[in-house]
Amino acid sequence: MNKNELDKFIICKKCHTLHRKIKLHKGTKALCQQCNSLLYRDHQNLIENSLALSWVTLIALIIGFSFSIINININGIYQELDLPSLIMVIFDNEYYIVGVMLSFLIFIFPLVIIISMILLLSLMKFKKSGYLVRRLMILIAKILPWSMIDIFFISLLVAMVKLFAYAQLELDTAFWSLIIVILLDIFIFKQISFSDLWDEYRKIYEV
Amino acid sequence: MREKLIRCPICEAVNIDKGGEIYCRRCHEKIYNYKRVSLNRTIAFLITAIILYIPANAYPILITRKFGIIHENTILGGVMHLWETGSYPIAIIILLASVFVPILKFIFIIYLLIATKYSVKSSMIDKHKLFYITEVIGSWSMIDVFVVAILSVLIHFSAVEIIPGEGATAFALMVFFTMLSALSFDTRLIKK
């Protein structure tokens, strides 16, 4: 079978059913016949849109990492939570394995993913350095399952409910910016499928 | 022809399955190992995770020091305490995320491994869906570790203090190895 012939097919990520690709109308999407999950979409400005959203995510992420997330007040004694201090406390208690894991899962990986996203989209926009774009896309695909900023946010809510009875809680700047990060993360990585980006890559670099 | 086409887990391109090691035609990455290699890897990671699950539950994950009195909580103990104090939704979330999800993952992976050797009555599509669920729910178990870390930062006073217990390390490693086990599973082994 010819190599280009294979590009006419797509396999569903959920149930691995083989589909033949068809050309979509503007703004529509193709769903899997078996399990209704998204296969691919027709994007108007895939690169520009994702690039803009990635910048917003990066800014929100930096704010989320540098300011305090929640303040707690127990009978007049204040304590605040921010991400660097979270990791520091784990290291102070000599839980090095957990500390290293936490710093990678909720700090380094989300940051690396979003920075590589910005880099690769900018390179694609200016049609430069196909090799680097390919490496960055592979890097993102490999570490995406390990980025757990969304799980961290749910843990934050769980911890808040646990503390609700004992203390007064105040939501701070970083809490709101983390919400923005989570929403945009879902939008970027669940809506825009990677096969769309790779198709775009083919169009730009392999003509 | 249908069986011979496989999906690259990195760039989602369709590739022809020639058996053995496969390099993706689009992203040029090695996407599949020899079937035997990935099978052994999955089993090895799974056994490590199951072994780690024992200390993760036996040792305390959370230590509370209240006016000098030390109180240790295991995962199940914490869930029971939450249930008794009336925080039912949180108790259910923690129970699901840190007790049921790991066990479900073990069962799913073991089931998929058995299904590669012996014929099991379920369609290929169902098995692929099961594997997809296993991959997606993997990271949810980390909730408990994160909650402990957050609490230990916030409750850090001279009178009352929360510190993570040894169970947290075992638990975090357990989640890490179950995820590795799922990631190294070769989906080509899934057949009817």
Under a CB-based contact definition with an 8 Å cutoff, are residues A68 and A174 in contact? Answer: yes
**Residue B192, pLDDT score:** 60
Average of per-residue pLDDT across B147-155: 88
CA trace torsion B57, B61, B64, B70 (10° rounding): 50
Under a CB-based contact definition with an 8 Å cutoff, are residues A90 and B163 in contact? Answer: no
Of B5, B9, B149, which has the smallest distance from its Cβ to A18's Cβ? B5
User: Which residue in B has a C-alpha nearest to residue A137's C-alpha?
Assistant: B11
Say whether B132 and A13 touch across the interface (CB within 8 A): yes
Under a CB-based contact definition with an 8 Å cutoff, are residues A97 and A165 in contact? Answer: no
Say whether B149 and A90 touch across the interface (CB within 8 A): yes
| pLDDT tens-digit series, residues B72-91 | 888 888 888 888 888 788 88
**Residue A1, pLDDT score:** 52
CA trace torsion A82, A83, A84, A86 (10° rounding): 90
* pLDDT at A28 exceeding the cut of 50: yes
Residue with tokens 């979509």: A24
Of B16, B142, B173, which has the smallest distance from its Cβ to A1's Cβ? B16
Residue with tokens 């769903």: A31
Of A106, A137, A156, which has the smallest distance from its Cβ to B11's Cβ? A137
Under a CB-based contact definition with an 8 Å cutoff, are residues B23 and B29 in contact? Answer: yes
Each residue of B144-158: b (16+ CB within 10 Å) or e? bbbbbbbbbbbbbee
| pLDDT tens-digit series, residues A178-204 | 999 999 988 887 777 778 888 888 888
**Residue B1, pLDDT score:** 46
Tell me the pLDDT of chain B averaged across its residues.
Answer: 86
Tell me the C-alpha distance between A182 and A188, whole Å.
10
Tell me the pLDDT of chain A averaged across its residues.
Answer: 87
Tell me the C-alpha distance between A30 and A40, whole Å.
5
How near does any CA of chain B get to the CA of A58, in Å?
Answer: 22
Residues from chain B that touch A85, judged by Cβ atoms under 8 A, are 153
- A189 vs B55, higher pLDDT: B55
**Residue A207, pLDDT score:** 66
**Residue B189, pLDDT score:** 82
Residues from chain A that touch B132, judged by Cβ atoms under 8 A, are 13-15
Helix (H, G, I), strand (E, B) or coil at B16: strand
Average of per-residue pLDDT across A34-42: 84
* pLDDT at B130 exceeding the cut of 60: yes
Tell me the C-alpha distance between B116 and B131, whole Å.
13
Q: Where are the domains of chain A?
A: 1-42, 45-205
Of chain B, the percentage scoring pLDDT greater than 90 comes to 24
* pLDDT at A34 exceeding the cut of 60: yes
Probe site for chain A from B23, B26, B32 (most A CB atoms < 10 A)? B26
Domains defined for chain B, CATH in brackets? 1-32 (no CATH), 35-189 (1.20.140)
Residues from chain B that touch A142, judged by Cβ atoms under 8 A, are 10
Tell me the C-alpha distance between B90 and B98, whole Å.
12
pTM of the predicted protein model: 0.89
B75 reaches A (C-beta below 8 A):
no
* pLDDT at A165 exceeding the cut of 80: no
- What distance, in Å, lies between the first and last C-alpha atoms of chain A? 20
Under a CB-based contact definition with an 8 Å cutoff, are residues B153 and A85 in contact? Answer: yes
- A188 vs B44, higher pLDDT: B44
Residue B111 CB neighbour total at 10 angstroms = 15
B167 reaches A (C-beta below 8 A):
no
Average of per-residue pLDDT across A46-53: 89
Average of per-residue pLDDT across B16-30: 83
* pLDDT at B187 exceeding the cut of 60: yes
Average of per-residue pLDDT across A105-127: 93
Closest CA to B89 of A183, A160, A168, A106: A160
Of B150, B163, B176, which has the smallest distance from its Cβ to A93's Cβ? B163
